[in-house]
Structure 1
Amino acid sequence: MSKEQVVVARKKKKKVKIFPIVNVILFLVISLIIMVPIWKVIVDSFDAKAGYGMNFLPQTFTLGGYSSILSRVALYRPFLISVVVTIAGTFIGLLLATLGAYVLIQWEMPGRNFFAYMLLFTMIFDGGMIPKYLVMKDLHLLNTLWSVILPLSINVYNLVLMRNFFEGVPESLFEAAEIDGCSPMGTFFKIVLPLSKAALASIGLMYAVQFWNDYTNFKIYINKNELFNFQMKLRNMVMDNDIPDEGGIDPNTIANAAVIVAILPFAIIYPFCQKYFVQGVNVGAVKE
């Protein structure tokens, strides 16, 4: 090796790649921006004298905020409504997304492209809040849980993701199922769905989080207090200052405990679904 080649090789070794360093710093900053408010809420939920400053640890540790929320009977029914709406909405949403996606991969179906473009059109142009409200009113769905389940169940983005995943299923499997005399719906239930567990888990998690955190639709379509979900009830409790006096516990402590209780179910569920979620993000990864 000549001297020039040795010098060039040394320069390459000494050269530091800037992008990985900037990338790490950027993600650290973003993570801190996200985690600092969450950590403040967690700390204040355990602090009997929670204020508006930033404390990294509770000054006066207490579980009174959580006991106040969990022992409040008025929150039991809204919590149950949230659970029912989340389960029913996720099931209906997955049913519509999978069936719609399966229809759109039927290449020989007349008008397939027309229906696909019509669905994509709705992702760009939306009717607006008032037309949706009038539709719900004409369908006599106001002040029913269907008015909050149906609008969120029809999610074109999730349908497109599911269609892309179905398109990655090997064509030979469809041909083999057809040769064996399997009907189109039989192929769907016996071949397509079993291969789509990762996509179903990831999209199902998206639906579940969407339904659990829903506040807007309850605010627009529901006027009866007995039909409010957990998020709506907690919002009214905090905004209307309807927080019980727990003997020395700051109302901010109870309010922060309410926030943690609201996000806790999916904080527990997510780690168990993470591997499916990561796989499902790579939609269409099944190759022939």
Structure 2
Amino acid sequence: MKEKLSFKKGHRGRTVFLICDVIFLVLLMVCMLIPLMKVLVDSVDPSTYGLRLIPKKVDLAAYKYILSKSSLYQPLWVSVYSTVLATVIGLLLTTLAGYVVIQKEMPGHKLIVGSIMFTMMFSGGMIPTYLTIKQLGLMNRVITCVLPVSLSAYNIILMKSFFEGIPGTLYEAAELDGATPMSIFARIVLPLSKPALASIGLFIAVGMWNNYMNFILYITDADKKNFQVKVRELILSDGLSGTNIGISEDMLKNAMVIIVVMPFLIIYPFLQKYFVKGVTVGAVKG
């Protein structure tokens, strides 16, 4: 009898927890969606005033005006190019680094892992980094903005944790078949690491797409500025003023924000299943 009562109490407790968990997540989702919906409505409804989440009418004039500005085409290309380049380089370096640090028999293994962990807590700072890049002659190059975003100690540890979750018997079987370490990496490790590759690739891509500080610090050529820097300059200098063509400035600014975030709003649903699994495995193992 006591066992049945304790089972009912435990079941009731889990049910209450799940209900509270769902309510909390729904509230969190609403808190995230309301600002985005407000920006979206303000970008298409010229009559919007206050907190309105449903537009009275839809006017795409702001988007047409922004997309017609040829001065934004080159910065947009720089953003796309740098994001793709950073993602490719980042995944290449992160997977190689993660594969190296799981080789526990390697001399200096603990020192290497400790050094990577050290950089997660301490860094040289903005000024030493700027002086180093300047002395190396890397100023005014897009690759200078790409490399700092491409490689992250956190991503290496996340990838290392995922690689350690792959059964060791697979490595041993491949070694018995005469496979080299790089062959094991290319034919076994990478094909089994799609969730980690998707989640880390998304981290890198979002970080690079939203990055503007590196382009402000290291890029002086206007043709090499990315889309985010150009948007910032236009908004601060009122370069998006469209009052002369009947478009409010607020509509233009909100439309620009939507254009900036739209690519990853489209991409994320296709990567979600890999993203959740990759982050979960890394969190449990890390």
TM-score normalised over the length of structure 2: 0.91
Q: Is 1:162 the counterpart of 2:163 in the alignment?
A: no
What is the CA–CA distance in structure 2 between the aligned matches of 1:12 and 1:188, rounded to whole Å?
49
Contact 1:143–1:221 at 8 Å: present in 2 too? yes
Note if contact 1:46-1:61 (Cα within 8 Å) is conserved in structure 2: yes
Question: Quick one: structure 1 residues 88 and 15, their matched pair in 2 at CA, closer, same or farther if it must change by over 3 Å?
Answer: closer
SS in 2 for 1:169: coil
Q: 1:48 to 1:169 in 2, by over 3 A?
A: same
- SS of corresponding position for 1:84: helix
**Corresponding residue for 1:228?**
225
Q: Does 1:19 align with 2:17?
A: yes
Report the number of matched residues.
282
Q: Return the index of the structure with the highest Cα Rg.
A: 1
CA distance in 2 between partners of 1:276 and 1:141 (Å): 36
1:147 equivalent in alignment to 2:144: yes
Asked if the contact 1:167/1:284 (under 8 Å) is kept, the reply is no
Does the aligned pair in 2 maintain the 1:166–1:284 contact within 8 Å? no
Q: Which stretches in structure 2 are left out of the alignment for 5+ residues?
A: none
Deviation of the 1:233 alpha carbon: 0.8
C-alpha distance in structure 1 between counterparts of 2:201 and 2:139, whole Å: 26
1:185 aligns with 2:164: no
2:87 matched residue in structure 1: 90
The question of whether the paired residues in 2 share the 8 Å contact of 1:101 and 1:162 is answered with yes
Shift of 1:200: 0.6
Structure 2 counterpart of 1:259, from 236, 257, 260: 257
26-35 or 124-133, which moves further after superposition?
26-35
- Structure with the bigger percentage of helix: 2
Alpha-carbon deviations, 1:154-205, whole Å to 9, x = none?
2010010100111111111111111111111111101111111111111111
After the TM superposition, which residues 1-288 of structure 1 pair with which residues of structure 2 at under 5 Å, given as runs?
Answer: 12=9, 18-51=16-49, 53-245=50-242, 247-283=245-281
**Identity across the alignment (%):** 47
| Pairwise CA distance, 1:15 | 6.2
Q: Partners in 2 of 1:220 and 1:137 — Cα distance?
A: 11
Q: Is the 8 A contact 1:50 1:252 kept in 2?
A: no
What do residues 211-250 of structure 1 show as CA deviations (whole Å, max 9, x unaligned)? 1111111122122221111111111111111114252211
Aligned 8 A contact 2:86 2:205 in 1: yes
Q: Post-superposition shift, 1:28? A: 3.0
Residue 29 of structure 1, CA deviation: 2.7
Question: Alpha carbons of 1:283 and 1:19: their partners in 2 closer, same or farther (altered >3 Å)?
Answer: closer
When the two chains are superposed, the root-mean-square deviation of aligned CA atoms in Å is 2.5
Q: Which range is displaced more, 114-123 or 60-69?
A: 60-69
Q: Is this contact kept in 2: 1:65–1:249, CA < 8 A?
A: yes
